Chains A and B, each alone.
Chain A
Amino acid sequence: MNGKTPKAQGFRQSQAGLHTWTGLLVGWILYLIFLSGAVSYWREEITRWTQPEIGATHDVETVARGAIAHLQTVAPKAASWSIALPDERASGATATFREKARPAPRRGVDPNAVTIGPDGKVVQPRDTEGGDVFYRLHFDLRYVPVIWGRWVAGFCAMFMLVAIVSGVITHKKIFADFFTFRPGKGQRSWLDGHNALAVLALPFHAMITYTGLVTLMVLYVPWGVAANYPSKTAYYAQSITRAKPVKPTGEAAALADIGAVLKTAERAWEGGHAGLIRIDAPNDVAARITLTRRASDTLVDGRWEIVFEGVTGQIRSQVAPSSSGMIARGGMIGLHAGRFAPMTLRWLFFLSGLAGTAMVATGLVLWIAKRRQKLADPSRPHFGFRLVERLNIGAIAGLPAAMAVFLWANRLLPTGMAGRGDWEVHVMFIAWSGLLLHGFARPPRRGWIEQLALTAVLLAGLPAFNLVATQRGIVSSLMAGDMSMAVMDLVLLGLGAAFAAMAFGVARHRPAVPKVRTPRPAPTAPNAAQPMAARQPEEVEA
């Protein structure tokens, strides 16, 4: 056919089949992982948007002082204090404390934690998980034990890695077709789109998949640890060095000025900033202040800490990732989470993530488009085809709609409601379930149009609601110079418009009536019916 040896042809073919099936089997979950991951690049912005009561941070030192003042009032004799500081994109600090002999609070349930606003005073924002919802969804999923969620994500990531490798091998004309995109040609267009999205951002896709696996690598592949350590505990003892606990002497002494300590750290880190303040044995002579560096400061994820004498503010010790393994691994985790990324790069990562999301979506639609052509009787497709076709609608168009519903719940649920944070998420999943069912209830084309249109309305409606019903509408945000809120409102509007365009696109697209394929008679008996049966339908319903 093209001069290749049969062996090479077979190799490519084997990879083609592998690529299609690994892609389909995890496609819907991968779509969720990609979309929630892409959106998580804006985790802090989304959290800010969901808690408009807290304004933008202007001066971290003010916030730090306010936090310490609060803790001095409520827990001057606590065993330790902990203050999570915001960066330029986040707002509000979390201040908490631990009494002696009490176990550390479980994640998400800390009765001692308060939020400190940009002016240093305690604020009571509405109970919400904010951007963390999508961040956790990305690798923990929801409503299942965290470990299960991580295994599912890892499984899908491994499938994705194999899909990338087999996709590159199979796409022998990877560069010849690189610049080819023919819109409006049915299955051919979906294939072109899928290829273009995959190949254009190939470095990103390969990087994000591999680094994602590395982020949870000790869970997925504990064999490196097993080879050299008698137990995981022994491994963690070496890889995560814990500070020795501080014993308070009982002799009171004033804490050093936190502003001075922060400035000393900044100098020691050559312009870096603190992200976490931990004070052990506050107001005691033996007090110790540990500053952990902001995650957004460096590419390499890991422990960057400076330990200070609590009373004098002098540096006692400093740690940073030092071994080649820790740096390489930290760098990979850093690349994946993208916390280091300045705005421009963050937007590029986000767009690449959306490209990956669209790549998975086009792959799922392509699966249907290709098989629709092969159906012997297009009006009565087999069960597998029908299942995938209907699931696609709710899984692909339904998820963004459900995410918008989450944001609506954030605005509409009463602030005093118990369990409000959990209910915002429950509402999102209830909406998604409803949309999945809707995909089965309506004719496919109607289902797509309706869900895309709904998503458009839900997304564009949010900034409109903000403008009309809250004090943080786009106009007030712009006047206050709060670019984060303003841009988020604009992006929601833009995304709404994009989904409206997609809904119109599907509505306007008139598919050619697919012809019923009659079995071909033998070539030696030419038949008047043959030309009709031999023609393939040009356009397929999206």
Chain B
Amino acid sequence: MTLLAFLFCMGGFAALSLAMPRHHAALVGGPLASRRRLGLKLAGWSGLALGLAASLAAWGLAWGVIGWLGLLTTAAAPVLLAHTWWPRAKP
């Protein structure tokens, strides 16, 4: 369950980061259509919300919120590192 929560949060951050034009261009290439942007944002926030739900399921109310905040930090780090060292060359 912890792993699931972590993956949800990481996926959420990945989607949210790709919803930003600059990062989208660097990683995926090409312009960001507004439809795709909306979809990515929705997926992103859903991921974070699901991560919260999984945390609450794993640890209860008080611990779940605290644990979620901790997971946000740990899940954002790999996404940040990916963006730093993985961008494809722009077409």
Q: Which of B66, B69, B72, B83 contacts A179, CB < 8 Å? A: B83
Taking CB atoms, residues of chain A closer than 8 Å to B74 are 348
Q: Which of A179, A201, A202, A352 contacts B79 (CB 8 A)?
A: A179
- Which residues of A in the span 175-217 have a Cβ within 8 Å of any Cβ on B? 175-176, 178-183, 196, 200-204
- Which chain B residues lie closer than 8 Å to A345 at the CB level? 70
CA distance A289 to B80 in the complex (A): 54
Q: Mark B41-74, 1 if CB is under 8 A from A, else 0.
A: 0000000000000000000000000100110111
Give the CA-CA distance A204 to B66 in the complex, in Å: 10
Q: Flag if B73 contacts A183 (CB, 8 Å).
A: no
Task: Mark each residue of chain A from 331 to 367: 1 if its CB lies under 8 Å from any CB of chain B, else 0.
Answer: 0000100000000010010001000000000000000
Cα distance, A176 to B76, chains bound together (Å): 13
Smallest beta-carbon distance B90→chain A, Å = 15
Question: How distant is the Cα of A178 from the Cα of B75 in the complex, in angstroms?
Answer: 13
Residues of B within 8 A of A348 (CB): 70, 73-74
CB pair A179–B73 under 8 Å, yes or no, is no
Minimum Cβ distance to chain B for residue A456 (Å) = 23
**Complex interface: chain B residues within 8 A of A200 (CB):** 73, 76-77, 80
A250 to B51, CA, bound (A): 64
Chain A residue with minimal CB distance to B80? A179
Q: Which size bracket describes the interface of B in this complex?
A: 10 to 19
What string of 1s and 0s marks CB contacts (under 8 Å) between B13-52 and chain A?
1001100101100000000000000000000000000000
Q: A200-B76, A348-B74 are in contact. Are A181 and B84 (CB under 8 A)?
A: yes
In the complex, the answer to whether A183 meets B84 with C-beta atoms within 8 Å is yes
Please give, as numbers and ranges, the residues of chain B lying within 8 Å of A196 by CB-CB distance. 80
Residues of B within 8 A of A201 (CB): 73
Closest to B81 in A: A181
| Pick from A178, A182, A335: contact of B76, CB under 8 Å | A178
Distance in Å: Cβ of A344 to nearest Cβ of chain B: 9
B73 touches A352 (CB 8 A): yes
- Of all chain A residues, which has the CB nearest B23? A179
The count of chain A contact residues (Cβ–Cβ below 8 Å) is 18
Contacts of B66 in A (CB 8 A): 335
**Bound Cα distance from A132 to B80, whole angstroms:** 36
Closest CB in chain A relative to B82 CB, distance in Å: 9
Q: Is the CB of B70 within 8 A of A179?
A: no
B7 CB to closest chain A CB (Å) equals 17
Is A203 touching B70 in the complex (CB atoms < 8 A)? yes
Complex: chain B residue closest to A204, CB-CB = B73
Q: Are B20 and A179 in contact (CB under 8 A)?
A: yes
How far in angstroms is the closest Cβ of chain A from B37?
13
Q: What are the residues of chain B within 8 A of A203 when measuring CB–CB?
A: 69-70, 72-73
Q: How far is the CA of A335 from the CA of B69 in the complex (A)?
A: 13
Asked whether A178 lies within 8 Å of B73 as measured between CB atoms, the reply is: no
- With A200-B73, A203-B72 as contacts: A176 and B80 at CB distance below 8 Å: no
Q: How far is the CB of A301 from chain B (nearest CB, A)?
A: 15
- List the A side residues contacting B83 at CB < 8 Å: 179-181
Determine how close the nearest CB of chain A comes to the CB of B22; give it in whole angstroms. 8
Nearest A residue to B70 via CB reads A348
The answer for the CA separation of A542 and B79 in the assembled complex, in Å, is 26
Please name the residue on chain B nearest to A180 by beta carbon.
Answer: B83
CA distance A200 to B73 in the complex (A): 5
A348 to B74, CA, bound (A): 8
CA–CA, A93 and B79, complex, Å? 45
Using known A-B contacts A181-B80, A181-B83, determine if residue A176 contacts B73 with beta carbons closer than 8 Å: no
**CB of A190 to closest CB in B, whole Å:** 14
**Cβ of A51 to closest chain B Cβ, rounded Å:** 32
Write out the residue numbers on chain B whose beta carbons fall within 8 Å of the beta carbon of A176. Answer: 20
Residues of chain A within 8 A of B79, CB atoms compared? 179
A410 to B1 CA separation, bound complex (whole angstroms): 44
Contacts of B13 in A (CB 8 A): 179
B60 to chain A, nearest CB (A): 12
A257-277 CB contact bits vs B (8 Å, 1 = yes)? 000000000000000000000
Besides the contacts A179-B80, A180-B22, A201-B73, what 6 more A-B pairs have beta carbons closer than 8 Å? A179-B13, A180-B83, A182-B84, A203-B73, A204-B73, A352-B73
Could you list 26 A-B pairs, sorted by A, with CB under 8 Å? A175-B16, A176-B20, A178-B17, A179-B13, A179-B17, A179-B76, A179-B79, A180-B22, A180-B23, A181-B83, A183-B84, A196-B80, A200-B77, A200-B80, A201-B73, A202-B73, A203-B69, A203-B70, A203-B72, A203-B73, A204-B69, A335-B66, A345-B70, A348-B70, A348-B73, A348-B74
B: residues with CB less than 8 A from A are 13, 16-17, 20, 22-23, 66, 69-70, 72-74, 76-77, 79-80, 83-84
Residues of chain A at the chain B interface (Cβ within 8 Å): 175-176, 178-183, 196, 200-204, 335, 345, 348, 352
The 8 closest A-B pairs by CB, nearest first: A203-B69, A179-B17, A181-B84, A179-B83, A201-B73, A179-B80, A200-B76, A200-B73
